[in-house]
Amino acid sequence: MMDGPAKRADWNAGVDSASSRARQAVVALLLSAVTHAAGACVSVWRAGVLSRLDDSNRGSLHATVVRGDDIGQTLAVVEIGMLILTLILFLRWLHKTIAAASTMGKAPLAWTPGQAVGTFFIPIVNLYRPYTILRDLNIHLAADGVPEPAPRARQDGLTGYREAAVEHAPPPRELPNGAIAAWWATYMLTNLSARGFGSTEPRTAEAFVTMLNRETATHVLMLVCALLGVTVVRAITARLVERNRRLGWSSDEELASLGL
């Protein structure tokens, strides 16, 4: 069993790594949000062009329609690339956060980091298990899981008769509320909205406009989902950092009383 200093060093290393991965995931999610905002704008523009298309202006608008198709296809490729990158960085953050959190609680988590990541790829299971994993992780890292450490005597030898002989732990960080349920609901809605794209090829301008309006709604949902994802990552990471602050400031006796 590791002693107090070794435990604190291990926790610090794990939290630093998880925080670094959280920043990467947040950047990827924000870039995804920007990509979907651009996609929504392009879809609205293309729908507007097609809604004005008739026999009298078909020739003059042909080049604009073709340019819109090219832009839409390019954005689709960018969106797929960003989706893959964001998923990779999100799962890297989740894997490290679970690994770090599992060593910082009174009871172990019900799943390993690898099992948690794997649930995102198992059919049927990936409809509900990722949500429960993130929800339980958020609960596991709740601030009341570890009490605020008691003040301790100063070790710098600088105390005087007018100065306090004890020092308190640093103030807690703000713990933002993680909208996990809202994020997961939006994520599932985006999957439902995206189903059926490409199953039938539109053959009229009106059908293309309907398809583009649906694309716009999907882009907006994905934009909201990405922003809620940022909230989830930041909230859980903030809880992990706060847990590390409390444990790092606790004495060896306090750690022992917590079963750590």
Evaluate whether residue 158 is within a structural domain. Answer: no
Mean per-residue pLDDT of the chain = 82
Tell me if 180 is assigned to some domain: yes
Secondary element (H or E) of residue 152: strand 152-153
3-state DSSP assignment of residue 166: strand
pTM above 0.95, yes or no: no
Is 161 domain-assigned? no
Which domain, by its residues, includes 108? 4-145+172-257
How many angstroms separate the first and last alpha carbons of the chain?
Answer: 10
The number of folded domains in the chain is 1
Residue 137 lies inside a defined structural domain of this protein: yes
Question: Each residue of 1-15: pLDDT tens digit?
Answer: 567 678 888 888 999
Beta-carbon neighbour count of residue 42 at 10 Å? Answer: 19
> According to the model, what pLDDT value does residue 91 have?
97
User: What is the per-residue pLDDT across 91-113, written as a single tens digit (0 to 9) for each?
Assistant: 999 999 999 998 887 777 888 99
